[in-house]
Amino acid sequence: MTSIRFALNHMAAPSLAIDDFFALAKSLGIDSVEIRNDLSGNAILDGTKPEAIREAAARHGLTIISINALQRFNEWNETRAKEARELIDYAAACGAKALVLVPKNDGTGCADGERQANLRQSLAALKPMLDKAGIIGLVEPLGFEICSLRSKTEAAEAIRELGAQSIFKLVHDTFHHHLAGEAATFPDLAGLVHISGVSDPSVSVADMRDSHRVLVDGDDRLDNAGQIKALLQAGYKGPFSFEPFAAEVHAVKDPAAALRASMDYLTARV
């Protein structure tokens, strides 16, 4: 039996202050965490210095695997370059190993030819910035029909074309993998797996959104257990990070118990 290396994204308990979030991870026997730059009133947006994050992670014995995320990364311009520099600097200063790169998800830049060119332009610009800082860029295709980068295959082709496999890795998100309907997985290029389930029996796949993403249980419609098992059997050795967005998960009074139940459920099936 192969064991699952669980990690915890701050989206699993976004109301917790960073120190309490780190303590939650540690209480579950988890040693890898992802911090976010989109939680208002919380690190990073509240102005918490990266050195304070680094110190807190060290105190709890945790590795910060990523900052999540540089949004619209495949729309390269001066604004994006500035955001990238700031996030890469913050990642380096707080001890984060990687920066998640999220594509445009508004129906623009989706045309064949256009989306591949935009992707290559952004990766080429980010490559020296990441390389200099010693930070990995984690490219995360999104499965939504309006997304400008749905395909892990297209992302993998661009990374290999640049000869940048040591600088860029893929995020395999179990939710987005299911929505994209793409069979291919890239265990050799995967640097991180995001896990969340959809239990609502009434929502169609085309209508699934972040708000439907809960902790994985017996009602999961995305086959998280099957996806995780296949990735492990194919040689993926990285972390599997809980990333539930649903309000009902965030409202749970005892997040540790809820997460433990999901960890136990998945561990028993892999």
Q: What is the mean pLDDT of residues 112-118?
A: 97
Tens digit of pLDDT for each residue in 146-176? 999 999 999 999 999 999 999 999 999 999 9
Q: Residue 244: which pLDDT band, with cuts at 50, 70 and 90?
A: very high
Domains and CATH numbers, the chain: 4-266 (3.20.20.150)
Q: Is the pLDDT of residue 1 over 70?
A: no
pLDDT for residue 2 = 67
Q: Please state whether the predicted TM-score (pTM) of the whole model is above 0.95.
A: yes
**Which pLDDT does position 224 carry in this prediction?**
98
Kindly report which listed range (40-44, 83-87, 141-145, 153-157) carries the lowest average pLDDT score.
Answer: 40-44
What are 72-98's pLDDT values in tens digits? 999 999 999 999 999 999 999 999 999
Q: Are 37 and 44 contacting, i.e. CB atoms less than 8 angstroms apart?
A: yes
Tokens found for residue 114: 């256009």
**43 falls in which pLDDT band (50, 70, 90)?**
confident
Label each residue of the chain as H, E or C: CCCCCEEEEHHHCCCCCHHHHHHHHHHCCCCEEEEECCCCCCCCCCCCCHHHHHHHHHHHCCEEEEEEEECCCCCCCHHHHHHHHHHHHHHHHHCCCEEEECCCCCCCCCCCCHHHHHHHHHHHHHHHHHHHHCCEEEECCCCCCCCCCCCHHHHHHHHHHCCCCCCEEEEEEHHHHHHHCCCCCCCCCEEEEEECECCCCCCCHHHCCHHHCECCCCCCCCCHHHHHHHHHHCCCCCCEEECCCCHHHHCCCCHHHHHHHHHHHHHCCC
On the question of pLDDT at 14 being above 90, the answer is: yes
Is the pLDDT at 121 greater than 70, yes or no?
Answer: yes
- Whole-number percent of the chain with pLDDT over 90: 97
Q: Are 7 and 138 in contact (CB under 8 A)?
A: no
Residue 252 has pLDDT above 90, yes or no: yes
